[in-house]
Structure 1
Amino acid sequence: MKIAIIALTEQGSKTAKRIGSGFIPTPSLYVLNKITQDTCFTESDKSARIILFSEPLQQLVHQIFKQYEGLVFVMAMGIVVRMIAPLIRDKHSDPAVVVVDDVGRFVISMLSGHEGGANQLAHQIASILHTDAVITTGTDAQKDIIIGIGCKKEISGEVVKKSIIDALQKVNRKIEQVRLLSTIDIKSEEPGLLQVSQELGIPLRVVSKSEIATCVKEHSKSTFVKEKIGV
């Protein structure tokens, strides 16, 4: 998916940078030019496609609305509604639109959730920011199962998929009821997990060690896992 991220403030630009760092290839980052580039981006960000803009936001949005498959606005949703309203046509041709608040607390799938992929994009961004995706599509909102997956290095997608199906059958649930797959950050690049996530069309949510560590007082813990994984 060809993605553009648009930010208006210094804090929003920092959040946009965090989002962009989680995608390959790097999305285009549109930053208002009154935000001095060196306050948000360093020499290590040379691979980032940073585009400074000075024209009114509405003019920029009109220019790029059909150039990208996904648009991520790091700003208030009210602003986005006013900017894209005249451009919306139908769910089969409009790009995915996702809105993120300046500090990255919430990631909202706003337009073209299913057909355009905004729901999937929102989950990807939420995983990068370690926050929540807000999905209001009826069928997706009703999904209530999150499957946590731990695995050996280089596990095959076939084994992961079979394990998921077997686990669901044991509790008499269906794959259509699964909202997310989830794993720890050190497993985030496992080809087998990524393959199954893509095949099933279920987002993979990555959970950091620090997030898991906050739960150890509430749940049992394993000495073996502590030695191998760190939590």
Structure 2
Amino acid sequence: MKIAALALTRGGQVVAKKIKKSFPAGEVDLYFSKKLEGQFPGTSPGEGACYFQESLQAVVKEIFSQYRALIFVMATGIVVRVLGPLLRDKTRDPAVLVLDEGGNYIISLLSGHLGGANELALQVAEKIGAEPVITTATDVRKKPALEMVARKYNMEVEPSQRIKEVNWALVNNIKIKFFKERGLALPPGFPFQVEEMEEERRAGVSSKGKGDYGGNPVVIITSRLHSPEELSDFYPGENFLFLRPRDLVLGVGCKRGISGEELLSFIEKSFQEEGFSLKSLRRIVSVELKREEKGLMEVAQRLGKELAFYSPGELREKMSLVSFSPFVEETTGTGAVCEPAALLGAGREELLWKKKRFKGMTTAAARLLSGWWE
């Protein structure tokens, strides 16, 4: 998604244009007040900007979800009043930056971490020679914010509501325990000390039934589903937060004309039955024949996941490792789809789960051993 830069005054217009020129062509859209159109040199309609006649609030309401970031070159008070009714939560709101019309200071106002506003503020500041203003406590204290770590290393946070508890503890130097699923490789340079989950000996629990972290938040890096009830025997308390590595590849087969709703429901059921989080899904893979299957494309779009396809010849390379179906071979040109596709997509020889069937749909999964953080 692109960036929108908005201005109401001539000075703001100049700064917004400067920002646009500093980015690759087509990455920044300009929105200016209609009052500026043709009033100053270089403000002709052909310059690629949108000149709006309606109120700023109406324009922002219309474009709020269409851009990954909004850059306002105007007073902060104006921006706060305009954005108030539109805000949802930190996992969905776009990054919002505010600059003075002299281009002297750039404030990361909203979605500093998950939305990338802090990072973008630093980037824009360097491009146009402005002074970045970052106010998030973890950045001020030079601490790694959990959601920034997740973003950098291709993980999802669950539940997102507990991010602030963990970051509060990090800022205040309160001890937090980090655990990871046994055998899971971590990215080089991971900023936290992480222990491996050893459920057999109830890791971190003393003879009194409490760990040495005093009930502080516990962060667990895993693709597997664990309920608080299951984990409370090993890590007392309820302050669990999961980092979900995007390390699972899902192979999918389906009959022609399957609806996206049916397919998504089956995929969700497959993950639930096998005990894995759908947030750890990296990509969906299938046979080339399904490239135009609307239901499959709809599912990938709704989940926001990559979609890749393999030719029958490529899938046959893994046929010795999977179950063979004469019917599937007759209809697709290869004796299996979901299982070999999952293996190819993950670069593996072993499935995480074998083929599951339901009403003309199949799923199978494999796991990326390393490189999932890239």
Q: Which TM-score band (shorter chain)?
A: 0.5 to 0.7
1:30 is matched by which residue type in structure 2?
Answer: Y
Pairs within 5 Å for 1:208-219:
none
Q: Deviations over 1:105-144 (max 9, x none)?
A: 1000000000000001111111122121100111111239
Report if aligned partners of 1:13, 1:40 keep a CA contact under 8 Å in 2. Answer: no
Determine if the alignment matches structure 1 residue 137 to structure 2 residue 141: no
Counterpart for residue 33 of structure 1: 34
Counterpart for residue 119 of structure 1: 118
Identity %: 47
User: Normalising by structure 2, what TM-score?
Assistant: 0.37
Determine if the alignment matches structure 1 residue 66 to structure 2 residue 65: yes
2 CA distance for matches of 1:132 and 1:40?
28
Q: Deviations over 1:139-180 (max 9, x none)?
A: 111239xxxxxxxxxxxxxxxxxxxxxxxxxxxxx996xxxx
Pairs within 5 Å for 1:32-111:
32-37=33-38, 39=40, 41=42, 49-111=48-110
2 CA distance for matches of 1:40 and 1:23?
22
The verdict on how the C-alpha distance between 1:121 and 1:40 changes in structure 2, with shifts beyond 3 A counting, is farther
Helix, strand or coil for the counterpart of 1:107? strand
Report if aligned partners of 1:5, 1:72 keep a CA contact under 8 Å in 2. Answer: yes
The verdict on how the C-alpha distance between 1:175 and 1:17 changes in structure 2, with shifts beyond 3 A counting, is farther
Helix, strand or coil for the counterpart of 2:35? coil
1 CA distance for matches of 2:141 and 2:53?
42
| Unaligned stretches of 5+ residues in structure 2 | 144-188, 192-374
TM-aligned CA deviation for residue 49 of structure 1: 3.3
Q: Deviations over 1:38-92 (max 9, x none)?
A: 625378x96x631111101111111111111100000000000000000111000
Report if aligned partners of 2:12, 2:74 keep a CA contact under 8 Å in 1. Answer: yes
Determine if the alignment matches structure 1 residue 20 to structure 2 residue 20: yes
The verdict on how the C-alpha distance between 1:119 and 1:37 changes in structure 2, with shifts beyond 3 A counting, is farther
1:74 is matched by which residue type in structure 2?
Answer: V
Counterpart for residue 255 of structure 2: none
- Decide which moves more: 49-58 or 4-13: 49-58
Report if aligned partners of 1:7, 1:75 keep a CA contact under 8 Å in 2. Answer: yes
2 CA distance for matches of 1:37 and 1:120?
34
Counterpart for residue 6 of structure 1: 6
Helix, strand or coil for the counterpart of 2:22? coil
2:3 is matched by which residue type in structure 1?
Answer: I
| Unaligned stretches of 5+ residues in structure 1 | 145-173, 177-231
Report if aligned partners of 1:109, 1:118 keep a CA contact under 8 Å in 2. Answer: yes
Report if aligned partners of 1:10, 1:40 keep a CA contact under 8 Å in 2. Answer: no
Q: Choose between structure 1 and 2 for higher RCO, CA contacts under 8 A separated by at least 6 residues.
A: 1
TM-aligned CA deviation for residue 2 of structure 1: 1.0
Report if aligned partners of 1:4, 1:71 keep a CA contact under 8 Å in 2. Answer: yes
Report if aligned partners of 2:71, 2:97 keep a CA contact under 8 Å in 1. Answer: yes
Report if aligned partners of 2:2, 2:27 keep a CA contact under 8 Å in 1. Answer: no
Helix, strand or coil for the counterpart of 1:21? helix
The aligned length equals: 145
> C-alpha root-mean-square deviation of aligned residues, in Å?
2.3
2 CA distance for matches of 1:138 and 1:22?
29
Helix, strand or coil for the counterpart of 1:34? helix
Q: Larger C-alpha radius of gyration, 1 or 2?
A: 2
Report if aligned partners of 1:69, 1:96 keep a CA contact under 8 Å in 2. Answer: yes
1 CA distance for matches of 2:137 and 2:97?
17
Counterpart for residue 146 of structure 2: none
TM-aligned CA deviation for residue 36 of structure 1: 2.8
2 CA distance for matches of 1:40 and 1:33?
15
2:74 is matched by which residue type in structure 1?
Answer: M
